[in-house]
């Protein structure tokens, strides 16, 4: 079996529209790693550089079979590190980073993927995207609602559904990958994949060396608009005795680029020294897909929302009360039949009915079936209808209480006299 080794290179550029680089990249003969930070001017730098600093500790410390466990533990540790930084300084809450990592154990790669940074494989001249973006637009593609071509130009193409945010709900994807001799692997931030189509990426990645390929890919991203930081990390699988003395990795030293290289003091970072005023200028990319840090006006907005909600409830309650006071029903009041205005209901602390008029018609005088109806309340369409109901009750009561007259004998009829024995 041919023994393979990993050649590597890493290159980054701030782009044409960014003032700082929030990407971090790392490459060695065992680990390819890329993180695209988000969350504001300084916090994106901090997130990606700290994630890379923690994860790269697994470089060269694995043996065949346990690389995936080591990589999983490293990603979890990086996530906890971001959580600690956020807890220490709430001003950086909302920062986060994507993660793309490939850890070589001498036989195969352990792979970690989180966010919209990508991993590509170039094998025998064919480019394959290994990762699936954790984005809103990718979910639309998966559901068949838009095509991959439409996704490239969708206004929300970078809206992330998953990222490393220092929270407990980390959802990274892990897998194994077995390489072949001649394979080239590309890890890149969306500063490349959004600017350059796959066909052009394949052509550039096929250059005579991975150093030339990295330079060409960055150049293409800048020519395409350079709207974001662009970072590429490339690995190439070659036979162990293959000469690579002309490559940048020939010295065997790991390559660290981007925010992680610009902030080597991140191991001793004092979050109390982070300039929270850096969050005043809102990064356009932050608006596109980064979770926003808490606003100092959040409390005021909540108060305003509650006031509006209470106002709507109050207006609705007023209209409901007004409607109730246009309703009428007939019921009992102190033993007498009365006409009520309102609705026949009782609510805590709210009175929805009042006596409009009380008649002289006693409840006990009513026929028994009418007495039960009045006790329960007899609904009326309006005041006139309620008065009609009372008139009907009065008429029935008077009819019930009128004595039946004795029949008068007809002329010529003989009335028998009682006989006394």
Domains in the chain, start-ordered, CATH in brackets? Answer: 4-289 (3.60.40.10), 328-401 (no CATH)
How much of the chain exceeds pLDDT 70, in percent? 85
Whole-prediction pTM: 0.65
Instruction: Give the model confidence (pLDDT) of 58-98 as tens digits.
Output: 997 777 779 999 999 999 999 999 999 999 998 898 899 99
**Max avg pLDDT among 121-125, 312-316, 386-390:** 121-125
What are the structure tokens assigned to 2, written together?
A: 């041919």
Instruction: Give the model confidence (pLDDT) of 346-361 as tens digits.
Output: 777 677 788 888 888 8
Exposure class string for 137-155: b at 16+ Cβ within 10 A, else e: bbebbeeeebeeeebeebe
Q: Is the pLDDT of residue 406 over 70?
A: no
Residues 6+ apart with CB under 8 A from 27: 8, 9, 10, 33, 233, 234, 235, 249, 254, 255
What are the structure tokens assigned to 205, written together?
A: 């990645």
State phi, psi for 196 to the nearest 5 degrees. Answer: -125, 135
Spatial distance between the Cα atoms of 38 and 54, rounded to a whole number of angstroms:
17
Q: Average pLDDT for residues 294-306, to the nearest whole number? A: 67
């Amino acid at each position: 079996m041919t023994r393979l080794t990993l050649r590597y290179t890493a290159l980054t550029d701030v782009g044409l529209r960014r003032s700082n680089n929030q990407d971090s990249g790392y490459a060695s003969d065992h680990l390819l790693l890329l993180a695209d930070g988000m969350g504001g001017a300084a916090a994106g730098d901090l997130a990606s550089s700290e994630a890379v600093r923690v994860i790269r500790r697994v470089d060269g410390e694995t043996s065949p079979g346990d690389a995936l466990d080591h990589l999983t533990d490293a990603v979890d540790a990086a996530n906890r590190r971001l959580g600690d930084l956020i807890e220490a300084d709430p001003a950086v809450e909302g920062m986060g980073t994507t993660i793309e990592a490939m850890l070589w154990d001498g036989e195969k790669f352990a792979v970690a993927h989180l966010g919209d940074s990508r991993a590509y494989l170039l094998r025998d001249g064919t480019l394959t995207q290994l990762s699936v973006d954790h984005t809103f637009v990718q979910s639309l593609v998966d559901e068949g609602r838009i095509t991959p071509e439409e996704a490239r130009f969708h206004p929300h193409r970078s809206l992330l559904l998953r990222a490393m945010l220092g929270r407990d709900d980390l959802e990274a994807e892990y897998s194994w990958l077995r390489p072949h001799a001649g394979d080239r692997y590309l890890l890149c931030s969306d500063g490349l994949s959004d600017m350059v189509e796959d066909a052009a990426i394949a052509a550039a990645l096929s250059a005579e060396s991975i150093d030339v390929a990295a330079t060409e890919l960055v150049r293409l991203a800048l020519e395409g608009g350079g709207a974001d930081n662009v970072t590429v990390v490339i690995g190439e699988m070659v036979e162990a005795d293959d000469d690579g003395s002309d490559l940048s990795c020939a010295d065997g030293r790991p390559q660290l680029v981007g925010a992680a290289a610009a902030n080597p003091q991140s191991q001793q970072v004092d979050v109390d020294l982070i300039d929270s005023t850096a969050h005043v200028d809102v990064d356009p990319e932050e608006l596109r897909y980064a979770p926003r840090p808490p606003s100092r006006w959040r409390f005021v907005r909540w108060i305003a929302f509650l006031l509006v909600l209470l106002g709507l409830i109050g207006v609705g309650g007023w209209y409901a009360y007004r409607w109730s006071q246009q309703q009428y029903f007939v019921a009992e009041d102190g033993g007498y039949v009365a006409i009520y205005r309102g609705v026949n209901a009782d609510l805590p602390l709210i009175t929805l009915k009042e006596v409009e008029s009380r008649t002289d018609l006693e409840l006990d005088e009513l026929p028994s079936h009418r007495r039960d109806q009045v006790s329960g309340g007899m609904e009326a369409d309006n005041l006139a209808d309620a008065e009609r109901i009372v008139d009907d009750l009065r008429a029935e009561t008077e009819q019930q209480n009128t004595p039946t007259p004795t029949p008068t004998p007809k002329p010529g009829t003989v009335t028998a006299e009682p006989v006394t024995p």
